[in-house]
Amino acid sequence: SQKIEQNSEALNIQEGKTATLTCNYTNYSPAYLQWYRQDPGRGPVFLLLIRENEKEKRKERLKVTFDTTLKQSLFHITASQPADSATYLCALDEGNTGFQKLVFGTGTRLLVSP
């Protein structure tokens, strides 16, 4: 069966450290993968998209890697700040639908303490 797995346990780190979140998937062959941030009671906000032919993508303090052999994406936040505390969702296109039908993981909650 198709699955997207993210750590269900919250990740607690200290301010200034690098947070690394993992997204693993099975039985998908996505052309790209996306990461979103979601604050409590709010809608998800797009952060980054990485394509299958891209190994790494960066945006300010964010870095995403995509390994199609391992079927895994890693999401890094460097120099983390308390304001980075949120739930981070990975999502990929289910494929073969003719439109973008995103399937989301359950998300990993990140807590950055001062």
By the criterion CB under 8 A, which residues form the site for other proteins?
4, 8, 31-32, 34, 41-46, 49, 89, 91, 93-94, 97-107
Min dist CB 16 to other proteins, Å, is 29
CA-based nearest residue to 36, from 102, 111, 101: 102
Min dist CB 112 to other proteins, Å, is 20
From the number of C-beta atoms within 10 Å of its C-beta (0-12, 13-18, 19+), residue 42 rates as exposed
Min dist CB 6 to other proteins, Å, is 8
Give the nearer residue to other proteins in terms of CB position, either 74 or 103.
Answer: 103
From the number of C-beta atoms within 10 Å of its C-beta (0-12, 13-18, 19+), residue 25 rates as buried
